Amino acid sequence: MQSNNRSAPARQKARHPAGVDSAPVRLKLLFVIIARGKAEFFSDLLQSFSVNLQMSVGAQGTANTDMLRLLGLSDSDKAVLVAVIREDRAAEALSLLDEKFRTIKGGKGIAYTVPMDSVIGVAIYRFLADLDA
């Protein structure tokens, strides 16, 4: 019984911003691969989708750029943004990212979401899901 009482907060249902009891909002990992110079722009963009945690990692593209590099034309420097996003905001975020990839000069990239199974800690979950305290 004691262990049940201890784990009760962990099983407490998350509350939607509207205050309605419902199943916890699922989370996804959102990967965005873009030119390094655009990392800040896309990072700011993601923040408008209830994203409270994101990491930016420097990376390199693997294109065959030997000749281009000789000519000083290569730009294989990339950034990978890894963000935790609510499942119900993911489609909307991907849609806007797709639009920006197609319309911004030098802003082409790839974005995809990967499902997340588990998070430990209610406070961490609420932070990641951007739920009201």
Partner 1 sequence: MPSAHQVIFCIVNAGFSDAVMDAAKKYGARGGTVIRARGTAGGDSERRYKITVSPEKEIVMILVNVRITDDILHAIYREVGLETDGQGIAFAVPVDQVVGLHQSHKSEQQPDPDGKEEEKT
Binding site for partner 1 (CB under 8 A): 28, 31, 33-35, 57-65, 68, 75-76, 78, 80, 90-91, 94-95, 97-98, 101, 106, 108-115
Smallest distance, partner 1 to C-beta of residue 57, A: 6
Cβ proximity to partner 1: between 11 and 105 the closer is 105
Smallest distance, partner 1 to C-beta of residue 23, A: 18
DSSP label of 38: G
Report how far residue 54's alpha carbon sits from residue 57's, in angstroms, rounded to the nearest whole number. 10
Cβ proximity to partner 1: between 33 and 122 the closer is 33
Cβ proximity to partner 1: between 99 and 132 the closer is 99
End-to-end CA distance of the chain: 28
Smallest distance, partner 1 to C-beta of residue 119, A: 17
DSSP label of 12: S
Beta bridge partners of 80: 33, 57
Backbone angles phi, psi at 49, to 5 degrees: -115, 40
